[in-house]
Structures are given as structure tokens and as C-alpha cells.
Amino acid sequence: MMRIGLTGGIGAGKSTVAKELAELGAVIVDGDKIAREVVEPGTPGLAALVEAFGEGILAEDGSLNRPALAAIAFSDDESRAKLNAITHPLVGARSAELIEAAGPDAVIVQDIPLLVENKVAPMFHLVIIVWVDAEERVRRLVGARGMAEDDARARIAAQATDEQRRAVADVWLENTGTEDATRAAVRALWAERIAPFAANLAAQRPAADAPHVEDAAYGERLVGRLWITLGAEAASVTADGAAASVVLAEGVTVDAVAHKLADAGFAPAATEPGVFQGSDPGRAVTVRVAAQGVAGSA
């Protein structure tokens, strides 16, 4: 299974990208859609929101009045944290159910508005950022969604900055042209990177002739992904760009973690024991793994 994290600022156009990915065969797990489902009338989620923010967030028919909730929840950091503490676990549990039902060969695209803010980027094989500058997003939110300008700006200010998004981006997709141009860019991304990456994952093989990519932030992303993959089975993880070194915890062998690494996109190299190479055709990655006490592991 290949897992892709899709995110971008409010109004950036993630839905266009997600629709095209779905047409190409991806299974979309839409965080916004799930967030609406878990607070429908009669759900524990809606009851928890009313307890936290009061009856004033309800419409006359008993459903959630989203503008009323937004006016409270986005007014300060404490209120936003309270909202997130209620909804995020519910969204996470429902997302996990959908992912499990998709099957082992699926390409899962999780559309997560707050992927960067919630620091979940290391969970994914790829992170796609859909980008449009803030002023254009304000224009879209006001013009297309009828949102008040102050509300639009408050929501944008409450989300991650462009710099924070760039730090986690494996793919930076600028959605500044026509919808047809964006869809064409998504199709090219699927053909050139996502589909071959998924095939490499299924075969547990490295990508052939992947390019070396200059990306100052990648080393930190690589370390995060390896820690998520190995957890307590690793004693240390370091990286210099796209070259990482892992020393395993005492008693853990390289063979014991090889399958986990391959599932995470780091397949065993055919030529050298303890060396794993990236399955992503868009970036060359090398991970050297050693057990405790093996020469060269410290």
C-alpha cells in the first residue's frame, strides 16, 4: 500500500487535485468530508462540540452551524486547540477504517488540511503540497465560497506558513493556472512518479536511476520517516541529505527490519548487505543499517 499525504492552504485547490487522482485510481480519504461526518446530528462528536462551545453553535434543525463554530474556534489559539482535541481523534479513527478497507495494493491519498500543523508528514511515502499565494486564496474564498474577507484571512493566518509547508513537501504543485493545466500536471505526476513508486513498493525493489535532488530539508524528513518506520527497533538515526545511517537497538538484526523498511519505501540493495535504497523514482535515497556491535555502526 502506498500512502500519500495531500495538503495545502485553505482555498489552494486540493479538491481539484484529489478528484484527478481519484480518476487515475487512487483511493481518496478526505479529511474535510470525514470531519463533517463525525459531527453530524446524533454523533458523539457533535455532542462534545456543544459541551465545549455551547448551544449557540447549533442551527435551528439541530445540525452544526459551521460559521458560528468557526467564529469561536478560530478566534484564539486556546479555542482552536479545544476544537482540534475533539475532532482530530474522531477523524483519525474513521480514516483508519477507510484505509484498512481499501486493500493492500491501493494508492491511498489522504487529503488532510492540517497535515503540516499536526506534524504527520513522516507517516507518508510522499507529501504533496498544493500551493497558491495567500492573496489569491483570499480572493477565491470570498468570491467562490462567499466567505467574509476577515474570516478568510483569519483562517489562512491560523494555518501553516509557506515555509513550513515547503519543509515537508516532496511534491510542490502550483495551482496558479487553469483547472485543465492542474489536472494535466497531476496526470504527469501519476505517470512519472506515483504509479512507478507504487509498483516498486509492491515488488519491494529500489527505483532505477532515481535522480539526486537538492533539498536542504529532506534530511530531517528522512530521519522522521525512518523513526516512524522503526520506532524502538532503532537506537539512532542520522541523515545527511538523502543519505541516512541507522544503528539498530540491541538484539535487533538487519533482517528483522528489512520488510518494514521495504514497506516504507526503502528496499534492500542487491549489491551490499545492510544497504537500502529508495523506491521513489523521483529521488535517490540510501539508508545504511547496522546492528549493535557491527563494525562501522557507531
Closest CA to 130 of 280, 219, 265, 20: 20
**Does residue 216 register a pLDDT over 80?**
yes
Q: Report whether 3 contacts 152 (CB < 8 A).
A: no
The answer to whether the beta carbons of residues 38 and 91 sit under 8 Å apart is yes
User: Does the pLDDT of residue 218 top 50, yes or no?
Assistant: yes
Place 297 in a pLDDT band, splitting at 50, 70 and 90. Answer: very low
Distances (CA, A) of 282 to 128, 183, 195, 202, 258: 13, 19, 11, 17, 22
Which of 242, 251, 250, 201 lies closest to 222 in space, CA to CA?
242
φ, ψ dihedrals at 101, nearest 5°: -75, -15
Q: Is the pLDDT of residue 293 over 80?
A: no
Average pLDDT over residues 5-23: 93
Between 117 and 298, the more confident residue is 117
pLDDT in tens, 123-164: 999 999 999 988 888 988 898 788 889 888 988 888 899 999
- Tell me what pLDDT residue 136 has: 87
What cell was used for 131? 500551493
- Domains 2-203 and 218-290 are alike in CATH topology: no
Instruction: Give the per-residue pLDDT at 209.
Output: 93
Ranges of each domain in the chain? 2-203, 218-290
Domain 2-203 has CATH 3.40.50.970: no
Whether the per-residue pLDDT at 221 is higher than 80: the answer is yes
Q: pLDDT by residue (tens digit) across 253-279?
A: 999 999 999 999 999 998 889 999 999
Q: Return the SS3 of 286.
A: strand
What is the CB neighbour count within 10 angstroms for residue 276?
26
User: At the top level of CATH, which class does the domain 218-290 belong to?
Assistant: alpha beta
At 294 the pLDDT is 62
C-alpha cell at 50: 456543544
| Per-residue confidence band for 179, with pLDDT thresholds at 50, 70 and 90 | very high
The secondary structure element, H or E, covering residue 188 is: helix 179-189
Query: What pLDDT score does 292 carry?
Result: 85
Cell of 231: 520506532
pLDDT, mean over the chain: 93
The confidence band for 114, taking pLDDT boundaries of 50, 70 and 90, is confident
**Separation of alpha carbons 260 and 231, rounded Å:** 11
Q: What confidence tier does 296 reach under pLDDT thresholds 50, 70, 90?
A: very low
Predicted model pTM: 0.84
For every residue of 194-259, DSSP letters joined together read IHHHHHHHHHT-PPSSPPP---TTHHHHHHHHHHHHHGGGEEEEEEETTEEEEEEPTT--HHHHHH
Task: Report pLDDT for 295.
Answer: 52
Q: Please state, in angstroms and as integers, the Cα–Cα distance from residue 130 to each residue in 8, 74, 257, following that order.
A: 5, 22, 34
